[in-house]
Amino acid sequence: MILGAGPSGVIAAETIRKHAPHDEVIVIGDEPEAPYSRMAIPYLLIGKVGEEGTHLRHGEGHYERLGISLRRGRAKRVDVQARSVELDDGSTLAFDRLLIATGSSPASPPIPGIHGRGVHPCWTLKDARAIAALARPGAKVIQMGAGFIGCIIMEALQQRGVELTVVEMGDRMVPRMMGPTAGTMIRDWCEKKGVRVFTSTRVEAIERRAPDLMDRLAEAGGIADHVPVTPMTVRLSSGEHLPADLVISATGVRPNIGFLENSGITCLVGVLTDERLQTNVEGIYAAGDCAEAFDKVSGRTIVSAIQPNAAEQARVAAMNMIGRDATLKGVTQINVLDTLGMISASFGQWDGVPGGQHVELTDREEGRHLSLQFDGDILVGCNSIGWTEHVGVMRGLVEGQVRLGDWKDRLLEDPTLLMEAYLACAQAQGDFGAVRAKA
């Protein structure tokens, strides 16, 4: 049984079917649509794809042909002793092996008015439909949050011709991915592109005019909840009051693990797993945005909510579920971001380690920035803007924990020598093929 019909759930189900053709496989998802990718939603909003273009697998009857059963429902409780899952409709299903791939959900800050009409996350196809109805040319849109997800949404909104304002609590854009210089450069770039950006600012309230007849009809179910009825005013901690036709909440996500409370399955930030993606309960595994796995660069467990990590975790978990030994080589924090045409990247411990050395090179005129972080002679993290030719090399050096030797000092003098350092050191240590494949 697989709880969750996102990328992790689908990849795990297909992996099990490939290697165990006679096993019964059931995938439980809580949305009415066919399994789809959230990462495709911005392309849906731009109009590059239709809703079918967001689907993880195309073609009529894909899952049926593979003998994979899809069932709609939400897990309410896991009974590890009875080896069963209770769903929100009251039914109970038994399992031999269980994969928890329930993903994550938007985290809504406690702001007055945030749960009213006209405020949406950009997380599901239902959200996308509501946003598309409201984000018409000239509409005043306020986006809360300028993290990784927020920056992806931004381009879709801009291309729809809205008047966009972004409000970020941090002192820079993408503060969990970029250092002060890089985050500020991204902000300057966005403002040049016509996006108004507030940093070090909070939304304190979303205010609406007194409800009128249309509001009461909406509350009674007479009209769709995404139809604009009363205008909104967004009050900021800076004292400004901004008019809004649509507010988008992109203030982060949290793992969907509440149903595991008191189950006996150990959870920290996410569901804690070992190198085989198994939890503390034999036969129960976790993968994707809800899983907490070991990060070999930082030496600690992390929840890494990105699709490449989710896919590899799903594959490893699935192989172990059918008795094929497989281990996760590690999870690395990886982010490559396109913000209105500015390409940035962040790998590993981009903010450095205690006692470590670092070097920065910045050319604001050319929109290029490079920051390297070292622990001894190992590159443990980096930030970059505009250095697209070195993205694969940076990832390979960080993930491979390649010892740089004298090349560390050369990079401290000239960080642009990354390719030369990679060729010299990775090849010398016999890791050339692996790092080249990642590059």
| CA atoms of 392 and 407, how far apart (whole Å) | 18
pLDDT value at residue 437 = 42
Which residue segment(s) compose the domain that 60 sits in? 2-106+253-322
pLDDT digits 0-9 by tens, 47-105: 889 999 999 999 889 999 999 999 999 999 999 999 999 999 999 999 999 999 999 99
Q: 143 and 195 share a domain?
A: yes
Q: 393 and 303 share a domain?
A: no
DSSP state at residue 34: P
342-348 β-sheet, strand order: 334-339, 342-348, 378-385, 368-375, 357-363
Q: What's the total number of domains in the chain?
A: 3
Select from 220, 249, 278 the last residue of a domain.
249
Question: What CATH number should be reported for the domain holding residue 397?
Answer: 3.30.390
pLDDT value at residue 433 = 45
pLDDT value at residue 60 = 84
The answer to whether the predicted template modeling score (pTM) of the entire model surpasses 0.75 is yes
* 331 within domain boundaries: no
Q: 69 and 94 share a domain?
A: yes
Query: In which residue are the tokens 């590899």 written?
Result: 312
pLDDT digits 0-9 by tens, 329-384: 877 788 889 999 999 999 989 999 999 999 999 999 999 999 999 999 999 999 99
Question: What CATH number should be reported for the domain holding residue 29?
Answer: 3.50.50.60
pLDDT value at residue 116 = 86
**The token pair that represents 132 in the structure block:** 């598309």
Q: 197 and 100 share a domain?
A: no
Q: 133 and 230 share a domain?
A: yes
Using alpha carbons, select from 265, 267, 287 the residue that is nearest to residue 275: 287
Q: 229 and 259 share a domain?
A: no
11, 309 contact by CB (below 8 A): no
Number of Cβ within 10 Å of residue 376's Cβ equals 12
pLDDT value at residue 101 = 98
pLDDT value at residue 438 = 46
Select from 186, 214, 249 the last residue of a domain.
249
4, 257 contact by CB (below 8 A): no
Q: 95 and 159 share a domain?
A: no
pLDDT value at residue 108 = 87
| CA atoms of 33 and 53, how far apart (whole Å) | 12
Q: 306 and 354 share a domain?
A: no
Q: 193 and 219 share a domain?
A: yes
Contacts of 66 (CB under 8 A, 6+ apart): 13, 14, 17
| Average pLDDT, 10 consecutive residues per value, the chain (439 residues) | 97 98 97 92 91 91 95 97 97 98 93 91 94 94 93 91 96 93 96 96 90 54 53 95 96 95 96 97 97 84 86 97 92 86 93 94 94 96 90 89 94 95 80 45
263, 299 contact by CB (below 8 A): no
| CA atoms of 271 and 293, how far apart (whole Å) | 8
**Amino acid residing at 216:** R
Q: 151 and 244 share a domain?
A: yes
